Structure 1
Amino acid sequence: MSLLAAAASMLGIAPVLSPMGGLHAAELKVLAGGSMTGVLTELGPQFERASGHKLVIHFDTAPNLIKLATSGEPFDLGIVPIDVFKDGAARAKFGPPIEVARVGYGVAVRAGAPKPDVGTVDAFKKTLLDAKSITFLPASAAGAYILKVFERIGIDEAMKAKTKAQTAPGQIVPAVINGDAEIAVFVNNLLTAPGVEIVGPFPPELQQELVFPAAVATDTKEAAAAKAFIDYLTSPAAASAIRAKGMTPR
């Protein structure tokens, strides 16, 4: 068995996908949710080494991913927030979705700062109303849910004046570290970082998990390679890496 085939076997990837097995090496254009950055940055290169395929991953927010999926520009698969599949035009661009990972919501403060109470709905509400400023990414699937939570508990208007809106997931933690915002609210895996500490999850009554399914693009010419990547992401070998990045594998 070749070294490449052996690596593929260890990673749970069918050895027949190896270019050395007679198939060409594909370049896969992947649309991915920003919250999957940590997972795919680790697992993507492993898949490339084992399969011989190359991944070109574009990370973005749900609204932008919907625009990209429906733009007519070619892509091969998506690993995107479930909200993308709720858009009819975008959904038509994908085959059957398979869940890869999910993650809940939490609250974080700068490391060493006092940790407010978020254990109940009333405490969570008071903490946000007492905060001088909060930060998250409103223009995203996670942000859309957070805005619904604010509306549900009657603080949506008050939060507008306190919100330091970010334009990319990677800006949330730095905003808390450098003092631009007192509190961050977002999905837990993106709040698990040096310099900040998670105070706790959203109260059970307000908690919801953001699901990330994967699906092959309906118009792809690289369906076999795209499916192989999805198979790897849903394999036991990938599950431990997904869990280590603060998400729950399927």
Structure 2
Amino acid sequence: MNDTVRVLSTLALKGAIHGLAGQYQAAGGARIDADFAPTLALLERLRAGEAADVVILTREGLDEVAREGRVAAESCVDLARSFVGIAVKAGAAHPDLSTEAALRAALLGARSVAYSRLGASGILFAKLIERLGIAVEIDAKAQIIQQGFTAEKLLTGEADLAVQQISELKQVGGIEVVGPIPHALQTPAVFSAGRMAAANKPAEADRLLRFLASLEVAPALRESGLEP
């Protein structure tokens, strides 16, 4: 469609993009046709030749495809920061996450922990449990998903705790976000956007990038669990 801009985005921005799409179109922008997946999965698709006008990835992922010439480096903008959090099924007891020792005890005390294999949150969590010295114990009872939302495992009863970007946890109904992993134990992910070098709609891509980086979208980003 001539009035559509194609976006490939990390899952962390799914709630924000869905919330902003109508606002953007009402302001005269094109309809946003967005597809969502973890950054590593999107990098594979981009390198396999999948077409888009705008891509939203972790800053590291976007820098990679910009260096490869797939994204116009001058178009790249940072959109939001995101922290990894932990959720439980609605109504379940909230574990203490306030300190490293409390987090360690909560993870060891859970019957099962769900985390993602390909997402930025899963990469951080895998390193974290190694650092805490509990990787063997956690992985022996973990529900590790390839992509999608880890909190869905809370609803099926397959996990007691779900670990993912807070903005991704908030995409699942029937759960409660307990809070972030202590900030001292994590580096926030920065999510950034850029125009594909071979974009079919370069002007519309640039307009969308300006909108996503503007102050007017900050409330929607915060509502979705991100920090502008």
Q: Same fold (TM over 0.5)?
A: yes
Instruction: Show the counterpart of 2:188.
Output: 209
For structure 2, the 5+ residue unaligned runs are none
Structure 1 residue 221, shift from structure 2 partner: 3.5
The farther-off stretch of 136-145 and 90-99 is 90-99
Instruction: Show the counterpart of 2:106.
Output: 127
Report the AA paired with residue 136 of structure 2.
E
Does structure 1 retain, via aligned residues, the 8 Å contact 2:117–2:147?
no
Structure 1 residue 54, shift from structure 2 partner: 2.8
Instruction: Show the counterpart of 1:232.
Output: 211
Structure 1 residue 56, shift from structure 2 partner: 1.8
What is the root-mean-square deviation in Å for CA atoms of aligned residues? 2.1
For structure 1, the 5+ residue unaligned runs are 1-23
Report the AA paired with residue 217 of structure 1.
M
Instruction: Show the counterpart of 1:160.
Output: 139
- Cα deviation, 1:15-40, whole Å, max 9, x if unaligned, reads xxxxxxxxx95432211001111111
Q: CA 1:191–1:74 in structure 2 vs 1: closer, same or farther (change >3 Å)?
A: closer
Of the three residues 146, 157, 167, the one matched with 1:179 is 157
Structure 1 residue 216, shift from structure 2 partner: 0.7
Structure 1 residue 190, shift from structure 2 partner: 2.3
The farther-off stretch of 31-40 and 184-193 is 184-193
Q: TM-score, normalised by structure 1?
A: 0.82
Match of 1:248, SS state, is coil
Instruction: Show the counterpart of 1:44.
Output: 21
Of the three residues 1, 9, 31, the one matched with 2:8 is 31
Instruction: Show the counterpart of 1:61.
Output: 38
Higher relative contact order (CA 8 A, sep 6+): 2
Report the AA paired with residue 61 of structure 1.
P
Does structure 1 retain, via aligned residues, the 8 Å contact 2:81–2:188?
yes
Q: Report the Cα distance in structure 2 between the residues aligned to 1:62 and 1:91, rounded to whole angstroms.
A: 16
Match of 1:93, SS state, is coil
Q: Report the Cα distance in structure 2 between the residues aligned to 1:91 and 1:151, rounded to whole angstroms.
A: 32
Q: Report the Cα distance in structure 1 between the residues aligned to 2:16 and 2:64, rounded to whole angstroms.
A: 25
Q: Report the Cα distance in structure 1 between the residues aligned to 2:57 and 2:142, rounded to whole angstroms.
A: 25
Q: Report the Cα distance in structure 1 between the residues aligned to 2:160 and 2:93, rounded to whole angstroms.
A: 10
Q: Does 1:169 pair with 2:143?
A: no
Q: TM-score, normalised by structure 2?
A: 0.89
Q: Report the Cα distance in structure 2 between the residues aligned to 1:124 and 1:25, rounded to whole angstroms.
A: 50
Count of aligned pairs between the two proteins:
225
Report the AA paired with residue 28 of structure 1.
V
Q: CA 1:180–1:70 in structure 2 vs 1: closer, same or farther (change >3 Å)?
A: same
Structure 1 residue 92, shift from structure 2 partner: 2.7
Does structure 2 retain, via aligned residues, the 8 Å contact 1:107–1:186?
yes
Percent of residue pairs bearing the same amino acid type = 28
Q: Does 1:188 pair with 2:174?
A: no
Larger radius of gyration, structure 1 or 2? Answer: 1
Match of 1:205, SS state, is helix
